[in-house]
Amino acid sequence: MIKVLIVDDHALVRMGIRRLLDDLADMDVIGEAENGELALSFVKSHQPDVVLLDMKMPGIDGWEVTRRLQKSSPQVKVIAVTAMCTDALPSRVLQLGAMGYLTKESGAEEMACAIRKVYKGERYLSAEIAQKMAINSLETQHESPFEQLSEREMQVLLMITSGMTVQEISERLFLSTKTVNGYRYRIFEKLDIKNDVELTYLAMKHRLVDRPDN
């Protein structure tokens, strides 16, 4: 029996995934968590086999949860589940230690396949993500400018473009504001931009973050 933890800040998403997995004889959803803090605590106490982890949550986000689990519980397999379907993110998530990457549009069959594969120690990418990564690797002349950023810089970037202040980022990552600003200015330098507005525009241009609804 594969023990699964569902982590997402939306109750309806958690409920939907649970219903999909409850019908499978070889899987047992042993818990749910609505944020990263609760997820880390649950993993420490219950040791699930697989964590279905939303990457974009308030508080400790999926990036930081993945990073911490890789250090504290490397035997626990993480599958990133996200609404963002871009070229830059999947490889970064896998580099952090996640074993799989799914979009929230994935169906029950694909989600079950992903869980079984990562449980056995294999990596899994949704077909759509794998295709995008393959195409991107062939089009090296269009390489994302974000590839030059470190994992922490990428994490700070995503927080900035989601509207978080330096103080809020500092509190959530347990870093000083000076350190966060240091990452921020290095991002600006590497991307040859001057401020958060230009950073957000560049991120939207390369589909790293969603454009606001018109």
**Per-chain mean pLDDT for the chain:** 86
Do 149 and 105 lie in one domain? The reply is no
> With 70 as the cut, is the pLDDT of residue 210 above it?
no
Q: 89-93, 119-123, 164-168: lowest mean pLDDT where?
A: 89-93
What is the pTM (predicted TM-score) of this model? 0.71
Do 149 and 175 lie in one domain? The reply is yes
Question: Which residue has better confidence, 23 or 76?
Answer: 76
pLDDT tier, 208 (very low <50, low <70, confident <90, very high otherwise): confident
Look at residue 147 in the predicted model and tell me its pLDDT. Answer: 81
Last residue of a domain, one of 95, 110, 137: 137
Sign of CA dihedral 111, 109, 28, 20: positive
Name all contacts of 64-70 with Cβ < 8 Å and 24+ positions apart.
64/36, 64/155, 64/172, 64/173, 65/7, 65/36, 65/39, 65/40, 66/93, 66/96, 66/97, 66/98, 67/96, 67/97, 67/151, 68/40, 69/40, 69/43, 69/97, 70/96, 70/97
User: Would 210 be classed as within a structural domain?
Assistant: no
User: Would 211 be classed as within a structural domain?
Assistant: no
What is the CB neighbour count within 10 angstroms for residue 119? 19
Question: Which residue has better confidence, 48 or 87?
Answer: 48
Do 48 and 87 lie in one domain? The reply is yes
pLDDT tier, 198 (very low <50, low <70, confident <90, very high otherwise): very high
- CATH code of 182's domain: 1.10.10.10
Please compute the mean of the pLDDT values over residues 6-19 and round it to a whole number: 93
3-state secondary structure of 3: strand
Please compute the mean of the pLDDT values over residues 39-54 and round it to a whole number: 96
Do 102 and 187 lie in one domain? The reply is no
> With 60 as the cut, is the pLDDT of residue 6 above it?
yes
Report d(CA 203, CA 212) in Å as an integer.
12
Do 116 and 149 lie in one domain? The reply is no
User: Would 213 be classed as within a structural domain?
Assistant: no
Question: Which residue has better confidence, 144 or 15?
Answer: 15
Do 19 and 122 lie in one domain? The reply is yes
> With 70 as the cut, is the pLDDT of residue 85 above it?
no
Do 82 and 121 lie in one domain? The reply is yes
State which residues form the domain around 71.
2-137
Report d(CA 103, CA 85) in Å as an integer.
7
Last residue of a domain, one of 105, 137, 169: 137
- CATH code of 43's domain: 3.40.50.2300
- pLDDT digits over 169-184, tens only? 999 888 999 999 999 9
- pLDDT digits over 127-156, tens only? 666 656 554 554 444 567 888 888 889 889
Q: Residue 127's Cα: distance from chain center in Å?
A: 17
Question: Which residue has better confidence, 62 or 141?
Answer: 62
Give the β-pairing of 50-54 and 77-82. Answer: parallel
User: Would 12 be classed as within a structural domain?
Assistant: yes
